[in-house]
Structure 1
Amino acid sequence: MVVQLETPTLNSTLTLPYAVEGLIQVFTSPNRNFFTSVMAQSLRIAGQGTPVLIVQFLKGGINQGQNRPMQMGQHLDWIRCDLPRYIDTPDLDEAENQALQQLWQHTQQIVSAGKYSLVVLDELSLAIKFGLIPETEVLDFLSKRPPHIDIILTGPEMPKSLLDVADQITEIRRSHQP
């Protein structure tokens, strides 16, 4: 779980006697599904006053690009790709690809600014698998993020390179067949 400490941001006056280092967490599953525990954790942390950003790369359909984030409470921003549908194939038209690339660029910029303490990158593994976001860019992004930011990556078939840099890996699977 992510620590519930106030963490330093760009405008913070808080000084701790030790450095708070953010974690990279991976939640993966053999199937594409909604990671309820990740969303619940995000809502709980935001409810305690910690700034949280949820980015859903492959979900669309509600006219909610990076210029129109959904704000859930004072501390949780939720953005999706500005598309009329969800992405379930690597075959995007030019406008769809541009919307996804704009969201990825926006995500990198906003995380670099250090405003959020927790950032959830939902279904990032599928965006990589589909060839829509380069794996090398994601690794570079993770290595250059401000050190206090916790990152949660979700999605099926998480690339090994991302598993290798993760501090925690949670695999969600069925324990029995119905």
Structure 2
Amino acid sequence: MRSDEEHTEKMKKIKSARDRIMEERQGEKGLIVVHTGPGKGKSSSAFGMVIRAIAHEMPCAVVQFIKGGRETGERKLLTTHFSHLCQFHTMGEGFTWETQDRARDIAAAQAGWDKAKELIRDPAIRLVLLDEINIALRNDYLDIAEVCAFLQGEKPEMTHVILTGRNAKPELIEIADLVTEMEVVKHPWRAGIKAQPGIEF
């Protein structure tokens, strides 16, 4: 076991190295953030970022591409308590297996993307969450080339954009600044437990 003196000496070295790293990191920019993968927590993490931005009084917006009219905790919280700092737009009609109508799904995704572009272009909005857009992209409801070109060419310099959903396309991962892939280790659904308020929605 390390002595107190050895521990202190090790922590000094770590702090010195960290201080040097922090001095080298002076740049700022609006980030393109992707949360993907089969595990739970993609939207939850993104909404955590929205709440964090609101705490800094940064105007935000959310566009939900797949989830329909079902009440969720995050929508209820943001629209009830933070509507002055966060716009919330639910553009989807529900999961694709519920609508069973490709033309309707494409139209809803395009309407969501049109709203997303409007919000991203607004210089007053600092963070935009495009929730489950990766599903719309995976199903080719939206053109990945157009989405990437817009994010690279028209997103204001200091605006953050978060894109969530499984199976993020390689083109999106390539242009992103931050990509996190959620993995499944264990999930109650596999044990026959249904989605529950406060955990899944």
Q: Deviations over 1:96-150 (max 9, x none)?
A: 4333322211211221122311111111111011111110111111012111101
Q: How does 1:88-103 map to 2 (within 5 A)?
A: 88=97, 92=101, 94-103=103-112
How many aligned residue pairs are there?
154
SS of the residue 2:88 aligns to: strand
Distance in 1 (CA, whole Å) between partners of 2:187 and 2:69 is 33
| Matched residue, 1:30 | 38
Q: Which is richer in helix?
A: 2
Instruction: Say whether the 8 Å CA contact 1:60–1:87 is kept in structure 2.
Output: no
| Matched residue, 1:13 | none
Instruction: Say whether the 8 Å CA contact 1:139–1:162 is kept in structure 2.
Output: yes
Instruction: Say whether the 8 Å CA contact 2:65–2:108 is kept in structure 1.
Output: no
SS of the residue 1:125 aligns to: helix
Identity rate, percent:
25
Residue 92 of structure 1: how far off its partner (Å)? 2.7
The structure number with the bigger radius of gyration is: 2
User: Structure 1 residues 86 and 32 mapped into 2: Cα distance closer, same or farther (>3 Å)?
Assistant: farther
Instruction: Say whether the 8 Å CA contact 1:122–1:153 is kept in structure 2.
Output: yes
| Matched residue, 2:126 | 117
Distance in 1 (CA, whole Å) between partners of 2:111 and 2:182 is 30
Q: TM-score normalised to the size of structure 2?
A: 0.66
| Matched residue, 1:151 | 161
Instruction: Say whether the 8 Å CA contact 1:90–1:130 is kept in structure 2.
Output: no
Residue 155 of structure 1: how far off its partner (Å)? 0.9
Consecutive aligned runs of 4 or more in structure 1 exceeding 4 Å deviation: 31-34, 88-91, 93-96, 175-178
Q: TM-score normalised to the size of structure 1?
A: 0.73
